[in-house]
Amino acid sequence: MRILLSLAIGVLLWSCTNTTAPVSDAWEGEWVDLTYPFDEQTIYWPTADKFRLDTVSEGMTDKGYYYSAFEFCAAEHGGTHLDAPVHFAEGKQAMDEIPLERLIGDAIVINVSERALKDQDYLVSVADFEEWEAENGSLPEDAIVLLKTGYGKFWPDRESYMGTAEIGAAAVAKLHFPGLAPEAARWLVEQRKIKAIGLDTPSIDYGQSTLFESHQILFEANIPAFENVANLDRLPSQGSKVIALPMKIKDGSGGPLRIVALVNRG
């Protein structure tokens, strides 16, 4: 854990412009940035305000040095972000209460893109996990599970990514994108032991969900979710380590997430 925390600090200091970078010290491998930048193109839920960056100051000062400062405004749930368990489970962990151990660890990728790209409303099933286990062995205990639907290739085209480019309450019924089946969420909670789960769509529940059952099941077990995760096509089915550090918002139900993976190509 001490090594992982040191790596996490190093990641926060890494240039935001790099999506990959070589590592030559603690581990051999390649850093992959799984985070979309926050800007005017960032995708949010149809009922949420967009990300906004306002200029406070930018330019040369009267004392001869350059200075810039900005203010940003954003909803908790949009772009690459973390859903805290309290988002759908009363009394469960808020953003500032999630243990670091849940956010750092070995990751596995369940690739359902071939099926999901043919079906906007695809639900990742228990059978998908069992298929992964048949090829790779049992799901590792305390893994961070990432679901690759292939929808990352549509970012930031809202209509292709979410099923609609409309905004407002009426647009919610028009959302279409894959998610995790409630039965699979329950299987993960009851039959396996995972740290966290993430995927490359706007929600862990599919777009047409009205009860958000997968959220409820996972969050009741204090399993956080990462949504709008980028670059999952760069990760192998296993053999990568993930560091997912969200903005530490006291009592928050979610917030912006910087998530990266260290991939061992050996």
- The yes-or-no verdict on residue 3 having pLDDT over 60 is no
Q: How much is the average pLDDT of 11-32?
A: 58
Q: What local confidence, expressed as pLDDT, does residue 26 receive?
A: 58
Q: 187: helix, coil or strand?
A: helix
- What average pLDDT score do residues 60-69 get? 98
Spell out the long-range contacts of 114-122 with Cβ–Cβ below 8 A and sequence spacing 24 or more: 114/150, 116/149, 116/150, 116/151, 116/178, 117/149, 117/150, 117/151, 119/178, 120/163, 120/176, 120/177, 120/178, 120/207, 121/176, 121/177, 121/178, 121/206, 121/207, 121/208, 122/149, 122/178, 122/206
Record: fold of 2-263 = Glucose Oxidase; domain 1 (3.50.30)
Under the banding of pLDDT at 50, 70 and 90, the label for residue 28 is confident
Q: What is the pLDDT of residue 257?
A: 98
Quick one: pLDDT at residue 1?
A: 46
pLDDT for 82:
98
pLDDT tier for residue 13 given thresholds of 50, 70 and 90: very low
Q: Which residue has the tokens 């299987």?
A: 187
pLDDT of residue 72: 96
Confidence bin at 264 (pLDDT 50/70/90) = confident
Q: How far apart are CA 103 and CA 193, in angstroms?
A: 14
pLDDT of 20 strictly over 60: no
Strands (E), 143-236: 143-148, 179-180, 194-199, 225-227
61-65 CB contacts, 8 Å cutoff, 24+ apart: none
- Note the pLDDT of residue 109: 98
Q: Classify residue 140 as exposed, middle or buried by CB count within 10 Å of its CB (0-12, 13-18, 19+).
A: middle
Predicted pLDDT at 266: 65
- Cis peptide preceding 182, ω within 30 of 0: no
What digits encode the pLDDT tens for the residues 135-168? Answer: 999 999 999 999 999 999 999 999 999 999 999 9
Percent over 70 (pLDDT), the chain: 89
Question: What ranges make up the beta strands (E) of 84-131?
Answer: 104-111, 123-124
pLDDT the model gives residue 215: 98
Confidence band for 25, pLDDT divided at 50, 70 and 90? low
Residue pair 258/237 in contact (Cβ under 8 Å)? The answer is no
Lowest-confidence range among 16-20, 90-94, 174-178, 247-251? 16-20
